[in-house]
Amino acid sequence: MTLTPDAMGRALPRIEGGQKVAGTARYAFEHPVVGPLYLHPVQSTIARGRVTAIDTSTAEALDGVVAVLTHENAPRLADTSDAEFAVLQDDTVAFRGQYVAAVLAERSETAREAAELVEVTYDQQDHHVELDEDSPDLYAPDVVNPSFETDETVGDPEAALESAPVTVRQTYTTAMTHNNPMEPHTTVATWDAEDGRLTLFESTQGVSAVRTAVAGVLGLETGSVDVISPHVGGGFGSKGTPHANTVLAALAARAVPGRPVKYALTRQQMFDLVGYRTPTIQHVTLGAEADGRLTAIVHDVVEQTARFKEFAEQTAVYSRSMYATQNRRTSHRLVPLDVGVPSWMRAPGEAPGSFAAEVAMDELAVATGIDPVELRIRNEPAVSPASGLPFSSRHLVDCLRRGADRFAWRLRDPRPRARLVDGWWIGTGVAASSYPTNSMPGSSAVIRFHVDPSLDPALGAAGRYEVEIAAADIGTGARTVLTQIAADALGVRPETVHVAIGDTALPPATTAGGSSGTASWGATIADAADRFRDKWGDDPSDGAQADGSMPDNPYSGRYAMSAYGAHFAEVAVHADTGEVRVPRMLGVFAAGRILNPDTARSQLLGGMTMGLSMALHEESVLDPRSGHVINHDLANYHVTAHADVGVMEAEWIDEEDPYVNPMGCKGIGEIGIVGAAAAIANAAHHATGVRMRSVPMTLDDFVV
Ligand code: MOS
């Protein structure tokens, strides 16, 4: 089935926009509960060792403290196989900042004060927290996130490099960075001991995943856990899987039946407990003919994981599908460290991987004297280099050409350090971008029709359509876009459709992750609408209802499916101080049908802004002596702010793709960040002649 667009493609205003502006949209912490207790944790001050004693007596004596949980008295969990979830279950300390106790008090201030009064004694052991590619502990994981091959070799890359007329061999690094959505991770947990039910108001990218995980860890029936999350104040991956904070809140609620427990992470705790992007060390070697045609790509990555739980970022995967070559090697090695476990952060793999790959392409452009836009066009593959499958659609070349046109690229002087204006070196750079078009199996939806005589007859329907699916709108516009999809699938006006999301009382849905939400939930809703119309026609009676589920895509395995883009950036570097500014960024994308131009532009600009942030600002600084991220607040960990952004534009080409899903859309949540930092680094080189192989780049990097 392919949907005919009517509502799809329109700039329908964000449905909950008014509520958000008025402050009536409820976020997790704001749900009213009766008689809540506030949780404040005690976190380990060592990176590795054991807790040998905990004295909670002073804390417990504080007026308003109801309980202090430690590994000695906390309720036992049913399943501790996921070490990240095994909070307060034993005396081991695996990383600095780990939960070692939790205070429950009548007021949040009291809980915080009492947490300071808990005295923890440790048996401290030596720790290793620095990523070192010569570490003897280096190992190859079985797969990289989520299930890609760790290593891959095609052809004979070493021989090809040996005979290549031109080679580029360089090392690139990216910093450790932390997710900082405006709304921190938050849980309001209530345990109803009588009915054996746990209710969580949660800030999450997927209520169904939280329900499954928490039920398993606590040993409850899945149906005994309710997770409610109507609005989420941003999620860049850290809310894509539950973390220890949610388990701690749930565990605490079980310890105090009848008293809801409220736990919002402080900004500083956000740097300890909910994942981060691993730092990477990337060795890239390109071999090419004199005309720029690639003969070999080698992309070897070293990155970190936690010793207590593995997470393997798929950093080199980008290089498997981007450019044509007969010879290729990609590999991933992990160093296990005494640190918190890395996790998802917007475009895991693609974001750091594209930085190295796309700066290396710029270096090849310089080495061969070929324009960097033309170099990429020359290396455009006919079929997917990763799978050998034809592309469902791939319009990278169109993105490059259109961006070059819009950026007046033909007027660019290719020589670096050629333009000095009012004391600023000015340059421009380009990088390509790609993100896979993911769909996830497992969602369901229900559609109900209710006759509504009060409905405006001009809307052409006798009543309203209620669409239910436990999807998530983390600020992306998913609620709005799903309404548009439902309207087109039902053949009705969007004003007659109400989409309910963010609640496990609704049919289960997959997580907002891997830019898969709209494609997966949309196809599920389209399936339900199909069944609804089969059963009831287009003039349904009151109470008409139909269920649907995520259909298999008959074209998966037959086509390679990805979105593509091209970033263009202008960078100014101050000749005396090295201050870096980015006056202009343009992203041109090919991402299938754009379902809502307003929310799509916002997503793409958000991704590009995060790419700017990656290029110039974000870096978690770990003190090797303590294992502690020392710049753990938004004063010291700078996230690109409004004043850092110049003219930034995102646009797209019209792309029709009949294979990806019934809507013809590709995910757009992550592609905006992919390649953006590389375009800025390449522009910085063009401006100054100084090659930036490490991000974030700072003014001292330009002092030569
Ligand atoms: Mo996104 S990092 O796939 O939640």
670 is catalytic: yes
Atom of ligand 1 nearest to the CA of 205: 4
Q: Are 576 and 423 in contact (CB under 8 A)?
A: yes
| Residue of 344, 439, 511, 518 to mutate, ligand 1, most atoms within 8 A of C-beta | 344
Residue 415 contacts by C-beta under 8 Å, 6 or more apart in sequence? none
Task: Report helix, strand and coil shares of the chain as percent, to nearest 5.
Answer: 25, 25, 45
Among 476, 469, 547, 474, CA closest to 504: 469
Inter-residue contact 498 to 21 (CB < 8 Å): no
Domain limits of the chain? 17-27+442-456+465-515, 31-126+180-273, 143-177+277-437+558-622+629-701
Distance 670 CA to ligand 1 centre (A): 8
Please choose from 145, 210, 438, 670 the residue to mutate so as to test ligand 1's pocket, defined by most ligand atoms within 8 A of CB: 670
pLDDT band at 280 (very low <50, low <70, confident <90, very high): very high
Q: List, chain by chain if needed, residues with CB within 6 Å of any ligand 1 atom.
A: 205, 237, 240, 344-346, 348, 513-514
pLDDT of residue 240: 97
* Contact call for residues 601 and 671 (beta carbons, < 8 A): no
Q: How far apart are CA 558 and CA 466, in angstroms?
A: 35
Number of the ligand 1 atom closest to the C-alpha atom of 345: 2
Distance 237 CA to ligand 1 centre (A): 4
Atom of ligand 1 nearest to the CA of 515: 3
Which CATH architecture best describes the domain 143-177+277-437+558-622+629-701?
2-Layer Sandwich (3.30)
Q: Ligand 1 centre and the CA of 450: distance in Å?
A: 36
Q: Which atom of ligand 1 is nearest to the CA of 344?
A: 2
Shortest-distance atom of ligand 1 to CA 238 = 4
- Cα of 347 vs centre of ligand 1, distance in Å, is 6
CA 178 to chain centre: 11
Instruction: Quote the tokens at residue 2.
Output: 């392919």
Instruction: Please tell me the predicted confidence (pLDDT) of residue 258.
Output: 86
Tell how strand 92-93 and strand 49-55 pair up.
antiparallel
pLDDT in tens, 595-616: 999 999 999 999 999 999 999 9
Is the pLDDT at 223 greater than 90? The verdict is: yes
Residue 540 has pLDDT above 70, yes or no: yes
Residue 505 burial (CB count, 10 A): 12
Residue 643 DSSP code: G
pLDDT at 2: 75
| Residue located nearest, by CA, to atom 4 of ligand 1 | 237
For residue 511, the CA-to-ligand 1 centroid distance in Å is: 9
* Whether the predicted pLDDT of 624 surpasses 80: yes
Whether the Cβ atoms of residue 134 and residue 114 lie closer than 8 Å to each other = no
What local confidence, expressed as pLDDT, does residue 703 receive? 81
> Could you report the per-residue pLDDT of 52-111, keeping only the tens digit for each?
999 999 999 999 999 999 999 999 999 999 999 999 999 999 999 999 999 999 999 999
What's the whole-number mean pLDDT along residues 188-216?
97
Please state, in angstroms and as integers, the Cα–Cα distance from residue 669 to each residue in 22, 109, 382, 620, following that order: 26, 37, 26, 23
Query: Is the CB of residue 439 less than 8 Å from the CB of residue 550?
Result: yes
The residue written with tokens 């002092």 in the block is 703
Residue 393 CA to ligand 1 center (angstroms) comes to 23
Candidate list 84, 363, 655, 670, residue with the active-site label: 670
Q: Checking phi first, is residue 196 left (phi over 0); if not, alpha (psi -120 to 50) or beta? A: left
Residues facing 587 on adjacent strands: 567, 650
pLDDT, mean over the chain: 97
Note the Cα 183 to chain centre separation in Å.
Answer: 15
CB neighbours (10 Å) of residue 513?
26
Q: To the nearest whole percent, how much of the chain has pLDDT over 90?
A: 98
What is the pTM assigned to this prediction?
A: 0.98
pLDDT reported for residue 704: 60
Burial zone of 11 (CB within 10 Å; 0-12 exposed, 13-18 middle, 19+ buried) = exposed
**CA-CA distance, 392 to 490, in Å (whole number)?**
26
| Least reliable range by pLDDT among 16-25, 541-550, 695-704 | 695-704
- Average the pLDDT over 626-648 and give the result: 97
Ligand 1 mean position, distance from CA 351 (Å): 11
CATH H-level superfamily of 31-126+180-273: Aldehyde oxidase/xanthine dehydrogenase, a/b hammerhead (3.90.1170.50)
Distance 348 CA to ligand 1 centre (A): 7
User: Does 143-177+277-437+558-622+629-701 match 17-27+442-456+465-515 at the fold level?
Assistant: yes
pLDDT tens-digit map of 658-690: 999 999 999 999 999 999 999 999 999 999 999
- Please give the DSSP secondary-structure letter assigned to residue 266: -
Tokens encoding 92:
């081991």
Atom of ligand 1 nearest to the CA of 240: 4
Probe target for ligand 1 pocket from 185, 232, 278, 346, with the most ligand atoms within 8 Å of CB: 346
Q: Which fold has domain 17-27+442-456+465-515?
A: Aldehyde Oxidoreductase; domain 4 (3.30.365)
Encode pLDDT of 316-368 as tens digits: 999 999 999 999 999 999 999 999 999 999 999 999 999 999 999 999 999 99
